[in-house]
Every structure is written in structure tokens, then in C-alpha cells.
Structure 1
Amino acid sequence: MSEKVLMKGNEAIGEAAIAAGCRYYFGYPITPQTELAEYMAKRMAEVNGVFLQAESEVAAINMVYGAAGAGARTMTSSSSPGISLKQEGISYIAGAELPCVIVNISRGGPGLGSIQPSQADYFQATKGGGHGDYRNIVIAPNSVQELVNHTIKAFDLADKYRNPVMVLGDGALGQMMEPVLLPERILASTPKPWAATGLRGRSKPNIINSLYLIPNQLEEHNLRLQKKYYDISKAEVMYEEYNTDEAELIIVAYGITSRIARSAIDKARKDGYKVGLLRPITLWPFPVDIFTKLANTAKAFLTLELSAGQMVEDVRLSVNGCKPVYFYGRMGGMIPSTKEIYGQIVKYYSNGGEQ
């Protein structure tokens, strides 16, 4: 690691991708992630890589499909409406079992919405988004340093499982500046004997495909994919606990919201309230088991989101009715303050354990 440098979140993602060996970036500008594309336009030329601003988001994701099929470490980035346009291509990439990284610096919606931060893309990211039975690995950092660390991890996971990995940020994380440690490594792409790179001594060429016209063959393909997703769900779960020991109320939050929640929890702890934080880092696979464990001791869960309530559905499924699960959310780019979240904690205790 080198000395810390002050970087904007979007630019830190780009530098991390380059350190991870990404040499092919295809994208299209959209606020609030445009600085990432701009940064890659400059840096790719300096590392003998390829930057291409596509004519549309649809074109960009299909360029990623092509580069991934040739065995390259490749990525794209966008913000909410742009990710919507990429969904068909993401489904094709998942069906063809190709590794790539997709960054969503999400903004308010639906529709054009706003350019302000939002977490209302949770369903889109974790439930597939496109057609068919497929999954993206979804990682949700909560700082610029984590944007760096988890972007690198995203490329490693994509190669390990031959699967798309999404780094799900938001407008606040993409735009904020924080000191970060950047990795010094330049990682060469791992061998990919499955890639479509010509015969290369083989008797038959590799074929990249997601089309199966014979029903039983498509079912076999899907069953194999589901086995892969099961393996991912057992091996790649990430989460953070903060003051959960003996906590009566567990706040559940991810991304930028988790940082605000943590400040509110610190204040609540000083005032005698037994509150803790559970932060999912992988939104898929979701950390179901830790909810089962905490439900044995906690009295209730409070989910905080920048949405009308999306992750809260997975929290309720994970808690499985053992304890109450409450929700508090803001929308339209509004971010709750520490005081606001602290007020929700006080409200819970003032109402005798109800929200």
C-alpha cells in the first residue's frame, strides 16, 4: 500500500479497477457517475488499456459481453436509468457465464427522478433485474476506501465464479472525497481456457453462448447455474456487526445510510439505549444466517433505507417472524440526519418496544 491520497469515490473506483487488471472499460455518461467514465478515459490511455464511450448503455453492456467473452477483465458503470437499459445484456452475460464488473452509482427514481443519492435500486440489483433465473453478486461499500477494496474484490469474484458482479454505490459515495490507500499491485488477468480467442492449439474453438433451444439442455444449464449460486451463497457472504452483543434493537442499514446509523447508535449508547448495527456488505448473497442468530437475543430490528422499503423484505424473510421488523426510509434524494435516526430509536423505546 502507498500513502493515503484524497480521492473522489468515482475516481477511486476507476483506479482500483486498473489495479485489479481491468484494461477494457465501456460506458456512457450519466450523473452522478460521470466522473468515473471521465477518469477512465484519461487513465486507460496511460496503462495501454481501452476506453470507449459507447453510443448508448445498451451498446456499452454488449461491448462488455464481447470483451469478457475474449477473456479480458472488463467493466462498465452507470447510474440507475442507465443500469435499467443494461439489464438485457447483463442477463445474457450471466447466461453465458462471463465475468465482468458493473458499477451502479444509484440516483433517485423512478423514471429520470433526480441526480441525488438513492437506494431504490436494491430490487433491480439483487433480484436479477433482467429476464430468466440468474443472480448477480452484489457488493455495497459504505466509504471511498471500501469502494477501492470491494472493486478489486469484485473482479476477483467475477473471475472465480464466471459471473457478473455489481458494485452498488450511490450518489453520495460517488461524489464524496475521502483519504484512501490505493493498492500498488497490477494484477494480470488469470488464465481463462474457456475464452473465445481462436483455436490456440485446440481442435475445436470455444463458443460463448446463452442460447439453448432444446428444453432439457436449457434446464441442465439452469440447474448448474443454481448450484453455482448456492455455492456463492455459502462462501461469499460479507457483513459487519457493530455493538450487536446484548443489543435489544438492531438497526439494519447498508451503504451511506449505515454510516449515519452508526453515529446515531453511538449517541444512543451513551444515553443508555441498547442498540446495535448490522450492515450487510453483500446484498446478494444476503447474510441470512446472522439474522437468525441475532433474532435469538434482539427484541426487534429497524431497517433504514433511502427508499420506500426494499431490503426490508429480505430482512423480514431472514428474521422469519421471530421478532418484529420495522422500517424507516427517505426518498427522492433525501438523506436522514443522525438526529433523525436517533429520533427513531427514541420512538421505539418510548412506545414500549413498538415503532
Structure 2
Amino acid sequence: MSNNDVSILDCNWDLCPVSASWFGYRPSLPMNAIFLAIFTIACTAHVFLAVRYKTQGFGICMSIACFLEMSGYAGRILAYTNPWSLPAFFIQINGVGLAPTFFAAGIYLCLTRIVIAYGAGISRVQPKVYTYFFVICDIVSLVIQAPGGAISSVSASQGKPPILGAYIGLSGICFQVLALSIWLGLGVEFAFRCKKVGIGAWDPKYDMLRTSWRFKAFLVALGIATAALYVRSVYRIAELSGGYTGHLAKDELAFCILEAVMIAVLSLVTAAFHPGYGFGEDYALITEQKSSYPRPWKRHAFFMKDLKSEEVLIELRGQHKSFVRTDGV
């Protein structure tokens, strides 16, 4: 805790060393100001792009995530003045801790459209599985992590190390990493299936889309964002294994590189190579095609092989293009 048995709640610059604070160090003002500016720019960009390209789901997830990051780094800036500040500690652990859950949800939403762009029939599971299953997993992760932050706040307000809350939050992040690993596995498996069937079996409606540099850049950006999120999540597991006041949690350089930089890269590349820009005019068409699939928990609606017996070809009004409708209409 602090020297001379002073409660951490009573600590200040005169009574306690900074190593006895909630952070274990005095947060760097320049570093946190830079990241606050980055996430403010990213948040503004994602809000604008969501309106520009009408990507509501992706835009909402990314905008909320960026806003939470902004609040987290604002809390760290407050802690520069007083690293024993409970409000600053609360704001940081909840803002920086919960934001990646919304980033993950945004990333999960992209795979459905990628699958449709190459050919839903190639996929093992029908497109909506990628949306519903993994967004539900993300909600579960959030539901686990949020009480962890609340319990940590209560413990800290009593002057106690927030150990229990940290472990609850850790379990939520572990679940998130598991879900992200499964999502990556399905994405890689779909890529191998596309390669196995060959280009001739890919959906011809989206030939121009797949060969465009914008779409290819989007895929690369999504890969970078996913890798950054994965690195951050693994770091977070290692960090919280020692609690919010453990050794790794008090290493600001590790936090800067493995938390702040990773999430900053994620937020910026997904804005620079936004899915609305990457898919272009085909985004709306793919969205309409996606809506034609039944919810995956309906009978015979999870795997593509179960849907093929119910295929119905329909023509999109005004598009002069068609896609396979699978809801039995």
C-alpha cells in the first residue's frame, strides 16, 4: 500500500511514494494526451464514415469503442495530477478495459459480408452465423467484464486492492480471446475452402469487387486490426493475472506498446480502410442478400448444406442482379 501505514485513500504527494498509487507510476501526460487525440480523431472519423456509407452496425460498435478509449485516456490524464485519484482509476479501467469488446463486435460483423462477397455457398455455415454467434459471444464477454470493473471500483473505494474484480474481468477477456480464436479459425477455414473450390466457383456478381484494390486494402486492414486486437487481448490476460495493481499492470511502457498502440492501430486502420469504402456500392447489395438468410437458430438454418434444398432465386428491384434467398419464401 503506502509508507507509514497511510491508507491509499488518504495518500497524496507528501505522504506516499507514487509507487503506492493505483497506477504504480505517474502516467505520462504527453503519451496519454497523444492517445486521447488519436482516439478523438478515430471516433470522429468512424461517426462520419458510418453516416457516409450507412454502415450502422459497424459504425456504432467502432464509435462506442473509440469513445470509451477517449474516456479511459482522459482518466489517465487526470491521474497525472493525482495518481491516487479514485475517479481517474475507475474511468481508466472501465474505459480502456471495455472498449476492445466493441471493437471486436465491429470486426465480427465484417466476416459475414466477406463470405457473401466470395460466395455464401462455399462456407460451411450460413452467413448469419458469423454475425449472431460471435456478437452473442461478445455480449457474454461484456456481461462478464462489466461486473468485474464495478467490483474493482467498490474494492478500490474501500482502499482494498481490486483483486476479485480483476479476476472476473480476466475471465471475460479469456472468453473473448477464445471467441476471437474461433472466429479466426472459421475465417481461415473459409479461405482454404475458397482456394480449394477455385475462382470459378466464386460468386460472379462480385468479381469486380474482389479484384478492386479498395477491397483488397480493406482485407489487409481487417487482418492488421484483428492481429492488433489479439495481441492486446493476450497482453491483457497476462496483465490481469497479477491484478490491476500487479507487476505488469504497473509497467507503463508495456501498457503503451501492447495496449495503447495496438488499439490505436486498430481504430485508425479500420477508419482509413473502412468496410463501406472497401465494399463500395456492393455494400448495400450484400447487406440485402445477408438479410435474406434465416436466423441461424431456426431448424436446418445453421449449415449451408441444410439450406441448399430451399434455395429460391429472386431478382433485386432496380439492381438487375440476383442472389439466392434461403428463407423458404
TM range, normalised to the smaller chain?
Answer: under 0.3
Considering fraction of residues, name the structure with more strand. 1
* TM-score using structure 2 length: 0.28
If you compute each CA radius of gyration, which structure gives the higher value, 1 or 2?
A: 2
* TM-score using structure 1 length: 0.26
